[in-house]
Amino acid sequence: MKYLPAKLSFVVLLLILSAFDSKAQRASKNAVKHSTQIDFIENSWNEALKQAAAQNKYIFVDAYATWCGPCKMLKATTFKNNKVADFYNSNFINVAIDMEKGMGPALAAQWGLRAYPTLIIFSPKGKPVSGTVGFLKADDLLAFGVQALNK
């Protein structure tokens, strides 16, 4: 009988630790997951249009060329900014299109593109809303997206 209080306190301690562990697991499951980069549909304008119509979201297009230095900088820095990624993944259907292969050349001609990167925001129905050319820092890309959504 002398060991009962020790065993009992050990069991109570295990129950307490188990309760804290359960709360921590629930909290981590309910935590907001932050994006580490913008999630792009690759080279499929038609898929972007389809998803935009289904979700009633605007479309963000990264029109790029593989040889383009500023395009590579956008992908390596701005598109990997957590605030930018969270904002664009929440508010847009994002599509990156290599303008020199597949549908790219036809879209470049249709949209009148002359330089890369060109960033364009389209309505859910595929009508251009806003566009810009060249590298943008994270704050500038956020402002670009907010401005387009407010038009």
Class of domain 41-149: alpha beta
Bridge partners for 41 per DSSP? 95
Rounded Cα distance between 71 and 66, Å, is: 8
User: Which string of b and e fits 98-133 if b means at least 16 CB within 10 Å?
Assistant: bbeeeebeebbeebebeebbbbbbbebeeeeebbbe
Instruction: Pick the range with the lowest mean pLDDT from 28-37, 116-125, 133-142.
Output: 28-37
Annotated domain spans of the chain: 1-31, 41-149
CA–CA dist 74, 94 (Å, integer): 14
pTM score: 0.78
| Cα gap 134→58, rounded to integer Å | 21
Lowest-confidence region among 11-25, 81-95, 111-125:
11-25
For the segment 72-83, the average pLDDT, to the nearest whole number, is 97
Kindly state the average pLDDT of the residues 97-116.
Answer: 97
d(CA 93, CA 91): 7
Give residue-wise pLDDT tens across range 127-149: 999 999 999 999 999 999 999 99
Rounded-to-5 percentages of helix, strand, coil across the chain: 50, 20, 30
